Structures are given as C-alpha cells and as structure tokens.
Amino acid sequence: MLVIFSVPIFVAGILLLLIGSRYLGPLYTSTYVPISEGITGNLRSMFLPALSISVPVAAMTMQMTRTNMLEMLGQPYITMARAKGAKRRNVLYIHALKNAMPPVLTLIGFQFGILLGGLFVVEAIFSLPGLGRGLLVAIGQRDFPLVMALTMVISAAFVVVNALVDIAYPFLDPRQRST
C-alpha cells in the first residue's frame, strides 16, 4: 500500500504507458479517441491515464479510511452497540464508517487539487487534449489571457469542490449542524 502511495504520478504514467504499449495490445490504444466516435474506443484510450492518476490517490484514501476506521472501532459507543446486539454490518457501516468519513472527505477534497495538478503531467505523457495541455501550450505561446482564464477555471473548480466538502460535513457529522 505504501509503495503505491509513494509512486509519483509521472512515474506511474510512464510505467503504465510502457506496460500498455508492450503488453496490453488490443486493450489499450495510444491515440485519443473522443467519446463522440465511440464509447469503447474512448474507454480504451482513457483507461491507463485514469489509472495513473487514480491509483496513488486511491492508496492514500484507503490508508486514511483504514486508519480512521481502526480508531473508530476502538471507541466506547462501538463497544456499546456490539453489547446491545447490533449486527456487525450495522456497527461497521452505520456507526463506525459514518463517523470515520469526515477526515477522509477532507482528504478527498484536497486530493482533488492533486488530481488537477496531475492532469498536466498525464496529459503530456499520454498525449491527451485537455485543460492541462491547453495551459501548457498557452504558457509556451505566451498567451497570457488564456493562461489567466485557465488558471481561474482550475482555481474555481478547486474552490467549488472544497465548498461541497464543507457543505457535506453536517450530513455526516450531526455535531456540526447549526441549531
């Protein structure tokens, strides 16, 4: 788990590109296929780029969820729920997981920024058109209005996702609801 967590996105992307081109043959296409030309072709061309971004982020999320779940399972209210005869599934999902999720949700909100930063690298490695590649081209051509606009779009997306995370807190943790 920690090995996956420590692999940078650009290393994961290069290794997956090597594996995809050498061993996955018909399962991976190295050219981008727009979704308008076919959903299966698009999925084949986007599988490895999505995997190279998501695996390190997923490893971090799983590690945080596991740590919080182990901490919650040692709490007295979990022992009380078990003593009352609650089903194991209810104890795990309703009592423990619900209370373990707020820190994980915060991590996911911040990981969205990591995903946005990883777009630049992954789009360059896999030769994909997108926001990150457009920003790199605009920087190279010194198109400052486009650079500012794309930076604002990326910043706004990050702010919106973190605002949604903050809005979701009261639904997960009743102690944070205003009276």
| 154-169 pLDDT, tens digit each | 889 889 998 998 888 8
The pair of three-digit structure tokens given for residue 142, joined into one six-digit string:
């010194």
* Phi, psi dihedrals of residue 87, rounded to the nearest 5°: -65, 150
- pTM beyond 0.75, yes or no: no
Separation between Cα atoms, residue 97 and residue 73, nearest integer Å? 9
Residues written for the chain:
179
By the 10 Å C-beta count (0-12 exposed, 13-18 middle, 19+ buried), 126 is classed as buried
Separation between Cα atoms, residue 3 and residue 59, nearest integer Å? 9
| 85-106 pLDDT, tens digit each | 888 888 888 888 888 888 888 8
- Residue located via tokens 């909100």: 109
Q: 8 in helix, strand or coil?
A: coil
100 in Cβ contact with 68 (< 8 Å): yes
For the chain, the distance separating the N- and C-terminal CA atoms, rounded to the nearest angstrom, is: 41
Q: 128 in helix, strand or coil?
A: coil
Separation between Cα atoms, residue 169 and residue 25, nearest integer Å? 44
- The CATH topology of domain 2-176 is MetI-like fold (1.10.3720)
Q: What pLDDT sits at residue 178?
A: 65
20 in Cβ contact with 30 (< 8 Å): yes
| 50-81 pLDDT, tens digit each | 888 888 788 888 889 999 999 988 888 888 88
| Structure confidence at residue 123 as a pLDDT band (50, 70, 90) | confident
Range of weakest confidence among 22-26, 75-79, 124-128: 22-26
Separation between Cα atoms, residue 87 and residue 109, nearest integer Å? 32
